[in-house]
Structure formats: C-alpha cells, structure tokens
Amino acid sequence: MEKEVRQLVEMGATIAQARAALQKHKDVMQAAERIFDGSFDHLLDADGDVEMGISEPTETQSKPRMITPHEGDNDEGDEDDEALEGDEDDEDDVEDFGDYDSDDGGAIEAGANSANADPYAGIFFSKDRREEVIEVEEEPEVAYVPEVKEEVMLMTQGQWMKGCPEGGEQSFLFGLYRELSEGECRCPHGCRASIPRKKQDFFSLFAEFSTYVKHLQTTVLRSCTKCRKSFCFACGEPIAADLPERSLLPEEDIMLFHCSNLQGVILGVGLAMLEKLYIEQAQDISNGQENRTSGGKRRKVEPAVVPIQHDLDDDEDEDNYYPPVVQGKKAKLGVGYAGDVREDTSGQVEALAAQRAKDEKLAQLLSCIRVFLPSLHRTGGGRTSDYLVHPTALAHLRRRFNFVSSQLLRNDSLVDMSDRSVLYIELFEWLETISCHEALASMMAMPIMVVTSVKSVAPKKTAAKGSNKIRERTIIYEGSSGPRELLEAIVIQAQAAMKGLEGSKPIETCIEMTEEEKRMTVDEKGKARDSGRQLSEENKKLLTFCQRILGTAKAIDRSLSETKGDMFVTRLHASLPKISTTGGTNTPQVQAGDTEESTMKAYVDWANRVRFEYCDLSIPQSDTPAQGNEDSSPHYKFYFNNEARMLANADIPKRSLAIAKELAVLTTNLPVAWNSSIFLRVDETRVDIIKVLITGPEGTPYYNGCYLFDVFLGPNYNQSPPSVKYMTTNGGKFRFNPNLYADGKVCLSLLGTWSGPGWVAGRSTLLQVLISIQSMILCEEPYLNEPGWAQSAGTPQSRAYSANVRRMVVRTAMLGNLKNPPEPFEDVIRTHFRLKTRSIIAQLNEWLAQDDEKPITDGGYGGPRTPASGSSNGFQADIEELKGLLAQLQTTSGGSAVAT
C-alpha cells in the first residue's frame, strides 16, 4: 500500500488523503479521481508533513503542485525547493529504472556509491516483461479556438494516457493532464485572483504542430486580472520582468521553455501528432500495395500493432483498434523467383516521389518537436525546462516516439534507408539528443513495450446522463528490443556495406625506394600512393549514409558513457548483436536446455549469432606451389579460386555497390530456425568470395543434413547472377536431387540453369537464390523436381527416390560432414548436431523404419548401386555410427547421455 500512497503523494495529495482514498477505493486511479474532485479535502496529515519534498497547499495555491524555478526570481526558498525537486527526480529515475529490469525490484546494493562501483550492477536489460493494463477511451471532444476561428478536436484523458504500461509514469501523466485541463490557476503574487483552465488551453489538436506552438505562445503568458502582473499559466509561477536576452531560432519563444509542465504537455501533444501522422502514412502505403496487382509473390511483413483513434460507434473489432502498419519501403520481389521480367513498373517513380514527400513531412515534424526535447547543448545555453525535466518526458518518448523509431529502425533494407535519408538522419538526431541527457539516456537501453493483445472489457459502471461515453480495454504489453539494440542491427548492415564498397583489398608490398627516387618529389614516385579508385555518386551517397549511421552509434555510446558510466555501456554492449570477424572456433560452447522448448530457444539464439561471419578463406602462401613472380595474388579454399584471383585488384564501382547492398541484407536477414537455417561465411578481404551452409528443412528427406555451396559474385554482378557450386557430393559421386548434380551443378531458373523466370538485373538477390535452394530444391518430394515426373506425387517411384536420398543424406550430409567437418563450418556443424541430438536420433529411428532396404545408388536414375555386405544396404550401420558420434558430442560437451 505504501507504493500506492507514494504515487498519490507525487500527484499532489497529502498522505492522509492518500491513505483514506485507498482504503475506500483500492484502485490508485479511482482514488486519485476522488481526491482531485475534492472528496477528501477535509483531511490533513496528523504530523503536518508530506514526504517527497512536496509542500503543503498555501493560501495562494488551489492544490499542491510542482515548484518550477525561473530566471531572475530571487524569492527565498527557491533554491531549496529546486534542490529538493532535483533530488526527487534523480531518486525517481533510479527507482523507476530499477523497476523495469532489476532482479530485486530495483534495489541497489549497499556500497554502490563507491568510486569504482557500477551503480547499475544489479540491473540488466531483460525483454522478458509482460504488463497488463486497462486503458480507457472516451468520445472525442471539440472546442472553439479563436486562433483558427473554428472548432478543433481536444485530446481526451484516454488518448493522453494511452500506450503507457508503467504505473509510475501513469500517475505523472494523470496528474499533469488534470492540472492543465481543469481547475484554476491562481495568481502567484498574493492578490488571490485566479484564471480558470480549460482543455483547449493546452490539449487542442491542431492540424499542424506549428499552429499548436503559436497557440501556446498566446496562452502561456498571462496577466492577472487584478494585479496586472505576469505569470506562467502552465505552472502558476511568476515571470521575471528582466528575462535575459537569448539568441533564439525564429520559431522559438522563451516562454515555452519556462517550466517542466510546458515541456511535458508540448512533448505529449507533439508526439501524439507524430504518431498519428506516421500511422496515416503507413496505412496509405499499405492500401496502395493492396490495390496494386502483381503476378509475383510478396514478402510477408510482420505487422506491428499500434494505437489509433477509434469511433465509439464502430463495431467492437480489436483487430481494427490496433491495425497493422506496413513499412513504407520499395515493394520487394517474392522469395525465390524474381518475378516476371515484364512486370509493370510504370508506377514506381510516382510511388517514390510520394514516399519522399511523406518522409519530408514526417522529418519536418520531428525536427519541430525536437526543439522541445530536454537538451543542455541548446543554442544560447540550457533553459529551465532543460534542467528540470518533467517526469512525463520519458513516458512520452517511451510510448510514442519509441513506436515510430522502432518501426523505422526495423527496416531490413539499408538501401531503402539511404533513399529516405532525410527522415533517417532526423531520427538519428533524436537518438543522439536523447542519449545526451541524464534524465532520458536510460531509455536507449530499456526494452520497448509493444502491444501484443487487446481485449474489450465491460465498464464497472455506466456513464451518467450527459457525460461522455467511455469504453475500456485490457491491453497486454511485452518487452522487445530497445532503441540501441535496434540501431545496432543497422550498424551491422552499414559496416557490411562499407566493406563491400571497399572492394578487393590488394596485397600491400613494401618496395624500398632508392635515395634518388626519394628526392624526386616532383615525380609521382615520391608522392603518396593513390589507389586511383573513384566512387560513383551512388556509391558516395551510400558510403556517406553508412558513415552517418556509425557516427550516430558512437555518439550515443559516448554520451551514455558520460551520463551513465562506462560499466553501463559495457553491459549494454554485451547484449547487442554482433558479427564475428573470425571463424568463431573459440566461442563459448552453447548448452542445450533440459526441455525441448529450451533447447529450441538455445539453438535459435546461437544460430542468430553465428549465421553471418567474416573469416579467412585464403590458403597460406607456404601451402601453395611456387609459380615464379607472375602472380602474387593469394589462392583460396574455394571452387571458383581461379575466377576470384583474376579479379584480385579489380575496381568495378557498379559491382562494388551491388555487393555492398547484398551484404547489408545478408547480415541480418538470413533465415534461421530450429527446422532449417542458412549460414554464411565471407572472406575478410574478398567479400565476393562466399561459402554457404544450409541445413535441410523438416518434413523432407534432407532434414538436418548439412549442404555446402561455394558462391562467387562475378565481374558483372548483379547484372548477371552469381556463380553457385554444390559441394556436398561425396566426392562427385552422389546426386541428391534432380536439380543438384553430382558434379556440383545447381539447376535454378534464377541462375539461368533451369527453365522459368530468370535473374532480373539490379533487382534479384543472392538471398533469393539461397532461399530458393532451401525451399524449392531441398523439398518434400525431390522426385517431382524432374519435369517429366512432376505429376508423380506419392507414387512408389517417388517414395523409392526419397528413401535413397535419405540414405545418401545420412552417409554424406550427416555422417560424412560430422566426421570430417568442412572449413569454415566445423564449429557450426558440430554445434548443430550436438544441440539437435535428441531430435536427430528420433528422426534416424523413423527413417530406418521407413527404409525399403534397397542398396544405395548414386542418385541417378537407375545408375550403379553401391555394394553392401550381406543382405544389408549399409543404412543401419551408418545410423549406428552416426549415433555413436552424437553420443561422443554429448560427452565432450559435458552433457548427459542420450538414449538411442
């Protein structure tokens, strides 16, 4: 109960009022309503004292309120009040932050104030949070506003509070809304006059944010009708007549920075406008995509649910209450095929122009609102509201700005972000500004609470006649990645793109210059060496944008280190996604869980970490035969070694740009799952040299096998498709599929080696090729991949073909790869089999029961059969040997024995 009492005291109630209201009304919000409607005004504290540094009401105050310091006012006690309030803010910041992520409810260990201690040692950034709250929505209200000479919508209390799952933040939001929307603001000069407050004073929802700012400029500065002295209508504090001159931007007015109350309401209303504009734009794009017809499949976009305004007379449809938002990016081609080459693209220019206009409008609104963010680095110096941050500021940012920023940061296309740089650069400015302020910086590491469920509930009592009709909904929020973690995914893309733009790194050779050559400074021999590479305009644009992303991440980390400490940043970085630049053979071993569910989670977490890595694929020069001085370029452990060496020092800008875009997508978009995953290894110095491992999908005769491919992005990439070679062939003996030849040929229309829609220059991607192999070649009935047998589903021939594939998979793609793991996937293969041991043993037992006991063939159509001893085809022997290796993996990893 003490926590609830404290919340009510923070809103402005006395301790006695808070205890009495909670005894009668168990709910904090109901108790607050009764206190503020005057039901408990007759109660006083027994000891006459109020906690938290909040003063008792005086004759010149209608109710307790936050004391706001201002420039030029030397009234006694102001400094003490400001110190008390500053301490309160600091204390609340630590405790509220602890409530989010602390093991022990936010308690900080004794001794944490020592010089070398980390004040956040007991805090972690867990996303395993779930909050259930009831949100209220009232009928919209309108009021006449003289500035626009028309009626405008007013923000209701339900709209103001919506989207906030934190109890402490709700109390601050409730208190500020009530203070600025009703009651009276008494003159602080002691003349006992007062001016009534109305909702339209601070909560008018104009069409433009600039109109709202102008409205506040005429509203905030008030003159007392009795003593004619000026005061702030938001906080009720006097305004000094000799305000210092400041160099302000034209649209700024010093009165709008007078107090924290103004800061809270401006950010709240402004971010509500931002959220509304973003949702409207996203829905326009979504509707446009639905109305456009196209022959190709569309990539499924996971919807994000967000709050919107809803007409109370509409059907009670929760799906409409939180509609899906589709990212405003270029339409993507479907998985696998690139679509019809003759696809109509006549509307793309218009769509891009419309998107650019929307981005500019959104960026302009973001820029206007950012002016009012707390910032100690403001032009002309910090203002009062910059130092005394209102407690609702963090609440507004976490529930409204976080929604918009998270949607933009989840964009999986670095190229699309670069094309929309006007919006993203403004977003980066916001993130940097937030991280610079002590009161807001913690938000960068806090999980973002997103809506996962909405359910209507019957109100506890019917609304009185003539009052606004309301409805209630139970909203369930769950934790998701925080802003800095989402930004890190973009940083990884940017780093990969920059690596691609660098192109091939030539081997540096040190040639000693003669003394004469050193003196010939006029000649080019004595000058600094120039690579001679000239980036195209498009390459420069992408490179500049990538550098801006990396700069933002560094600026945020630097600010967090200054405001929260180095240990805070270290702990934050430990939870961020990473891309390894080594083979990863010395990484800590991942342990399987005790249950199937925990094992699946461990597998997916591990696969996400290692799906993309840089490694050294070159062969040491000591291991290659000497060939004179004809060619000093290295050799590679790679099927396309000769082709790669021919392009060792090539500088092809269009190719570099295409590879940069490709790598940016691959770093964070390779599919990983318990049922099937794709792993990539890219050479550190030659990003056009790629090795791929695909684990066979569930429900297919390829399940849990490991299939390797060598990929080379040739000189004309991506005007032409990549070169792909299948490497898991048992030394060129096994044909695993009609589309996977024993010599390594991969038949796929995207590669131009199979009939069907082919590669579309500039639009098709390597990711499409890999997913096509995973889903279309490694399929449930591979027999059907042969065109002449496409109608033979379920036939004895198809079943026999699949049985033979299973035998080849066990012998080569499972047993062979586990006995002799190919580079650079040794750690991936061993971990894959170790974590999935129980599942694989069950799978092997099932496959053995399904086997037709025929000898294994080479995968051809009636080709030679592999000899087998006695009547056995060797399948059971392979399975027993594989089970033995799986048991050894468990033993060496310290795991328990697994039943076979």
Which positions are annotated as active-site residues? 747
d(CA 398, CA 477): 13
d(CA 4, CA 10): 10
Q: What is the 3-state secondary structure (H, E, C) of 655-676?
A: HHHHHHHHHHHHHHHCCCCCCC
Reduced to 3 states, what is the DSSP secondary structure of residue 142? strand
**In the chain, what's the furthest Cα-to-Cα distance?**
112
The two beta strands, 678-683 and 612-615, are parallel
Instruction: Tally the C-alpha atoms within 13 A of residue 860's C-alpha that lie toward its C-beta.
Output: 10
Sequence-ordered list of residues with C-beta below 8 angstroms from that of 294, at least 6 positions apart, any chain: 331, 339, 343, 344
**Cα–Cα–Cα angle for 200, 383, 90, rounded to 5 degrees:** 95
CB 605 within 8 A of CB 573: no
> Which residue, chain included where needed, has tokens 């990003």?
687
Positions of E strands within 543-623: 612-615, 618-619
Reduced to 3 states, what is the DSSP secondary structure of residue 414? helix
Q: What is the 3-state secondary structure (H, E, C) of 679-742?
A: EEEEECCCCCEEEEEEEECCCCCCECCEEEEEEECCCCCCCCCCEEEECCCCCCCCCCECCECC
C-alpha dist (Å) from residue 54 to 67, 79, 80, 189, 660: 9, 14, 12, 20, 58
Does 718 sit behind a cis peptide bond, omega within 30 degrees of 0 on the bond before it? yes
Number of residues written out for the chain:
900
Does 324 sit behind a cis peptide bond, omega within 30 degrees of 0 on the bond before it? no
**Which DSSP string corresponds to 796-840?**
HHHHHHHHHHHHHIIIIIIIIHHHSPPTT-HHHHHHHHHHTHHHH
C-alpha dist (Å) from residue 393 to 213, 220, 399, 407, 851: 17, 19, 10, 20, 66
Query: Dihedral through CA 741, CA 742, CA 743, CA 748, nearest 10?
Result: 20
Task: Give phi and psi for 724, each to the nearest 5.
Answer: -130, 130
Retrieve residue 725's tokens: 């070679």
**Cα–Cα–Cα angle for 183, 79, 244, rounded to 5 degrees:** 85
The rounded Cα 474 to chain-centroid distance in angstroms is 26
- 436 class by beta-carbon count within 10 Å (0-12 exposed, 13-18 middle, 19+ buried): buried
Q: Of 174, 160, 138, which is closest to residue 13 (Cα–Cα)?
A: 174
Sequence-ordered list of residues with C-beta below 8 angstroms from that of 289, at least 6 positions apart, any chain: 298, 326, 331
Would you put residue 872 in left (φ > 0), alpha (ψ -120 to 50) or beta?
beta
Buried b vs exposed e over 86-95: b needs ≥16 C-beta within 10 Å? Answer: eebbeebbbb
Reduced to 3 states, what is the DSSP secondary structure of residue 410? coil
Query: Taking the alpha carbons of 65, 66, 70, 73 in that order, is the dihedral positive or negative?
Result: positive
